[in-house]
Amino acid sequence: MEKITREYVLRCLPRRAEDANKGSFGTVAAFAGSSAYRGAAALAAEGALRGGAGLVFLATVPDAMQLALLRTPECCVLPCRAGADGWLCPDDVRAGAARFAPGKAVLLAGPGLGEGAGKVLSILLGGDFAWKGCLLDADALNALAAGKAGAALLPENAVLTPHPGEMARLTGLTVAQVQDDRPGIARRYAQEHRCILVLKGSGTIVAAPDGTLLKNTTGNPGLSRGGSGDILAGMIAALMAQGLSPFDAAACGVWLHGAAADLCSARRSQQAMLPHDILEDLGMLLAEEGL
């Protein structure tokens, strides 16, 4: 199994032409957050913006929308009412998705959706909308595992980003079984479901439907906090929006996320660093490479 290298990442990352505009760098449509999980939506949106997407639209409930705009006023919003349970109103999810022309936006769904994720996925992947790419994370993965996504169809080459617990739920295995055979389980799942599988954790594995595996060597235990995965999901979606293949976007996003975390740990310590701290280090990392 080969490792993701700095040279591979630099070869894949897009350069910005002098005459570029926001339309040159694609659109991410993030459906995330709920009344209980506001931070997840804000972090996913900021990850997509810092990852270089030209436009990031966040469909979320009012409380999460307010937090996201305080952190990143550059984010566009698709306001969704919160139901009595605090989850996104399905009618507003449908209306938000209808804003995007077929094949023009990368879908990011899952962070912070909570128990409402199944209904959201049923709408977004139910066949009425055509996305440029698709990334599912967090609660979207749990909804798939529990069979709560109704008639949702997983698009070919969708990117799934489970941690070991989510991978266990997706496969019906225990976490220990997943950890005992991370490469084999990631490869089999990617092949069976025709998806890009990002199995997070120490030595994150990126698996393709053709059996290709890459292992990441950047990152550290300081990333072991809620919110780290939300930022990674946004970064990968942004790279897909800029034209990278789903596999290259996943591999590059994982490497950059980990490399930024390594810089951050030197600055903040693994103990005290927070997920949003690494976005500053991501900027320094990219600036050093002239990007």
- Residue 112 annotated as part of some ligand binding site: yes
- Residue 230 annotated as part of some ligand binding site: yes
- Residue 229 annotated as part of some ligand binding site: yes
C-beta of residue 234 within 8 angstroms of C-beta of residue 51: yes
The first and second tokens of residue 261, run together, are 């975390």
For 188, phi then psi, to 5°, come to: -65, -40
- The 27-31 sheet, strands edge to edge: 2-3, 213-215, 205-207, 196-199, 159-160, 133-136, 105-109, 27-31, 55-60, 76-79
- Residue 248 annotated as part of some ligand binding site: no
Q: How far is CA 127 from the centre of its chain?
A: 21
Helix (H) or strand (E) holding 2: strand 2-3
- Residue 40 annotated as part of some ligand binding site: yes
Q: What is the 3-state secondary structure (H, E, C) of 37-62?
A: CHHHHHHHHHHHHHCCCCEEEEEECH
- Residue 290 annotated as part of some ligand binding site: no
- Residue 204 annotated as part of some ligand binding site: yes
Look up residue 226 and give its DSSP letter: T
Which position has the token pair 């997983």?
A: 154
C-beta of residue 222 within 8 angstroms of C-beta of residue 269: yes
How many CB atoms neighbour CB 84 within 10 A? Answer: 5
- Residue 110 annotated as part of some ligand binding site: no
Q: Which residues are annotated as a binding site?
A: 40, 112, 163, 200-204, 229-230
Q: Which residues are annotated as a binding site for (6S)-NADPHX?
A: 40, 112, 163, 230
Q: Which residues are annotated as a binding site for AMP?
A: 200-204, 229
